């Protein structure tokens, strides 16, 4: 595995890990769940959002764990690539069904597409 390959994977895994772990954990322990754009009004809805945030934090932890020993994390990187590919498909479907999103959502879509392609097409060697 070349140094350039490691740096690319470390960078993308680190970005993914921190961008999922930190907000995921913050939203799990937040007292008032929801904001102006996503409000959970029932106990069941709040419980579901906390569980989704916990899953998001766990995916972030997996990405950061993969950074620790990237040369042996082939299956974790491929698994994260599959998750990112599913996310890209969901965002693309949302654009078709729900309409054109804000520019920031398009930035997320672009970053997630790059991560999916890199993780699936250029994982650590087996």
Q: What is the pLDDT of residue 47?
A: 85
Q: What is the pLDDT of residue 2?
A: 96
Q: Which residues of the chain have pLDDT under 50?
A: none
- Helix residue ranges per DSSP H, the chain: 3-29, 43-68, 74-98, 103-121
First-last CA distance in the chain? 10
In order of 21, 37, 43, 83, 86, the CA distances from 62 in angstroms are 9, 28, 29, 12, 17
What angle do the packed helices 74-98 and 43-68 form, to 10 degrees? 140
Q: What is the pLDDT of residue 64?
A: 98
pTM for the structure as a whole: 0.90
Nearest to 58 by CA among 34, 38, 28, 90: 28
In order of 12, 13, 40, 60, 101, the CA distances from 98 in angstroms are 29, 30, 20, 27, 8
- Length of the chain in residues, anyone? 126
């Amino acid at each position: 595995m070349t140094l350039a390959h490691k740096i690319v994977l470390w960078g993308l895994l680190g970005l993914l890990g921190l961008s999922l772990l930190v907000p995921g954990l913050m939203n799990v322990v937040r007292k008032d769940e929801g904001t102006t754009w996503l409000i959970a009004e029932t106990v069941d809805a709040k419980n579901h959002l906390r569980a989704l945030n916990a899953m998001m934090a766990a995916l972030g932890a997996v990405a950061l764990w993969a950074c620790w020993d990237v040369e042996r994390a082939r299956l974790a990187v491929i698994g994260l690539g599959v998750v990112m590919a599913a996310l890209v498909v969901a965002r693309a479907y949302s654009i078709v069904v729900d309409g054109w999103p804000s520019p920031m959502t398009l930035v997320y879509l672009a970053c997630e597409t790059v991560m999916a392609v890199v993780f699936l097409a250029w994982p650590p060697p087996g």
